[in-house]
């Protein structure tokens, strides 16, 4: 999924300054290589951390035969990190696949605690 020219951000998502930016090929995010800890601009398609699985690091819309189109990833209700269900089912966390598709799924106890505390404000 390539964004059309002009659809990406014009400032870095980390430091909020412009300049020579690496553009995510799946979302509008843009980054300085140095803000990502990279020395060079990666070759080929590049996807930011928000567009990659929090477990395996692969592009989140990686096709998996086990899940339908709408189930290719799940997102933490608090931090919005995304995960492939198949990565979570084998990560040793004890998660059941049934728990992944509820309305409020959290990737960690910390995210759940932050969410609950923010809701109480």
Containing domain of residue 108, as a range? Answer: 52-119
Q: Are residues 71 and 115 in the same domain?
A: yes
Are residues 96 and 61 both part of a single domain? yes
| pLDDT tens digits, one per residue of 41-72 | 888 888 998 888 888 888 876 444 454 554 56
* pLDDT tier, 98 (very low <50, low <70, confident <90, very high otherwise): low
Average pLDDT over residues 3-22: 83
Question: Which residues, including other chains, have CB under 8 Å from residue 72's CB and lie 6 or more apart?
Answer: 60, 61, 62, 63, 64, 84
pLDDT at position 91 over 60: no
Does the pLDDT at position 105 exceed 90? no
**Which of 84, 79, 90, 86 has the alpha carbon at shortest distance from 112?**
79
Give me the number of domains the chain comprises.
Answer: 2
| Mean pLDDT of all residues in 95-121 | 79
């Amino acid at each position: 999924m390539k964004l059309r020219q002009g659809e990406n951000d014009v400032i870095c998502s980390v430091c909020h300054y412009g300049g020579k930016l690496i553009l995510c090929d799946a979302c509008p995010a843009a980054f300085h290589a140095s803000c990502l800890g990279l020395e060079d601009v990666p070759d080929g398609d590049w996807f930011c951390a928000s567009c990659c699985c929090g477990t395996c690091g692969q592009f989140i819309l990686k096709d998996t035969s086990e899940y339908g189109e709408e189930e290719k990833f799940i997102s933490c209700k608090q931090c919005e990190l995304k995960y492939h269900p198949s990565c979570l089912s084998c990560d040793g966390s004890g998660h059941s696949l049934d728990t992944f598709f509820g309305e409020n799924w959290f990737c960690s106890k910390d995210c759940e605690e932050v969410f609950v505390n923010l809701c109480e404000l």
